[in-house]
Amino acid sequence: MKNKRSRVFKGAYYLIKLLFFSHLLYFLLNLFLNYSVPFDKKSQVTIRGHISGIENNWKPTEVNNLDEKCESTFLYFKSGFVRFDFNNWKDALDKNSVLYIVLYNLWLIMGVFISFQLYTVLKTLYKKGTFEKKNTFRLQFIATTIIFMPVVKNFAQKYFTSFAQSNFAIEGHVIQLSRNNSFYQFPYLPYLVVGLLIFAIIEIYKEGMRLQTETNLTI
């Protein structure tokens, strides 16, 4: 039974180790490619993101009702990707762009942080085969980070939208926060549920530590 458990922890450990280093590599590549223009000699710096736009006179779009019993109203909400190219960093940076870059990369770092903490927890279980108090703190950090991730992402998107509004306009449209990242549309609930589930797992973990301590004292 012990060998079987050890194999399970070993497999999980190597899997999360691979995922962590892959995640770290993705973050570093994203950090470089998201703000540089390696194949464009005209520009040195780029800032990218998503926005949404609605028409100034936002009216329902005409639709063909397929069911006579149902009358449909359709409001067309436009979303898109925008890229800003600059000759140097000095031109690219203002209050909104700096806050966007900081918060967006903080959001990415939070994801790497979660991967690292999971890797550390499984590394401890695999190599020591025991419950440790430090792992409860690691799991608490993971749960708290997951809960706050969407908040950080939404504020980052808010500042990017403000940056976009100060740099260009779309005729006949109002630039707004990306619909998929708005404070009302963004899926907070899954993050909250996962965070609370991890807090529940922490309590189970603590109970495992208590039972292990009692077993050691009995022996």
**Per-residue pLDDT tens for 140-160?**
999 999 999 988 998 999 999
Residue 209 CA, distance from chain mean position? 31
Domain that holds residue 184: 2-42+92-173+180-218
What's the pLDDT at 44?
Answer: 79
What's the pLDDT at 162?
Answer: 93
Average pLDDT over residues 172-194: 74
Average pLDDT over residues 168-177: 86
What's the pLDDT at 3?
Answer: 55
**Per-residue pLDDT tens for 8-51?**
777 888 888 999 999 999 999 888 888 877 666 666 788 988 88
What's the pLDDT at 41?
Answer: 66
**Residue that wins the pLDDT comparison between 209 and 107:** 107
The helix (run of H) or strand (run of E) holding residue 114 is helix 95-128
**Would residue 132 count as lying in a domain?**
yes
Q: What is the 3-state secondary structure (H, E, C) of 3-37?
A: HHHHHHHHHHHHHHHHHHHHHHHHHHHHHHHCCEC
The answer to whether 58 and 150 have CB atoms below 8 angstroms apart is no
What's the pLDDT at 65?
Answer: 80
Q: How far apart are CA 219 and CA 2, in angstroms?
A: 18
What's the pLDDT at 1?
Answer: 47
Q: Residue 183: is its pLDDT beyond 70?
A: no
Q: Residue 180: is its pLDDT beyond 50?
A: yes
| 115 closest CA partner among 17, 31, 30, 210 | 17
**Would residue 32 count as lying in a domain?**
yes
Percent of the chain with pLDDT strictly greater than 70: 84
**Would residue 145 count as lying in a domain?**
yes
**Would residue 71 count as lying in a domain?**
no
**Per-residue pLDDT tens for 84-138?**
988 888 888 899 999 999 999 999 999 999 999 989 888 887 777 666 778 888 8
**Residue that wins the pLDDT comparison between 107 and 67:** 107
Structure tokens at 139: 């799991």
| 82 closest CA partner among 169, 208, 202, 210 | 169
The answer to whether 50 and 175 have CB atoms below 8 angstroms apart is no
**Would residue 34 count as lying in a domain?**
yes
Tokens 């194949």 label which residue?
39
Average pLDDT over residues 62-77: 82
C-alpha R_g of the chain: 24
**Would residue 25 count as lying in a domain?**
yes
**Would residue 99 count as lying in a domain?**
yes
The mean pLDDT of the chain is: 83
Residue 155 Cα distances to 14, 22, 83, 152, angstroms: 35, 26, 19, 5
The pTM is what? 0.81
The band of 4, judged by pLDDT with boundaries at 50, 70 and 90, is: low
Number of domains in the chain: 1
What's the pLDDT at 117?
Answer: 92
**Would residue 157 count as lying in a domain?**
yes
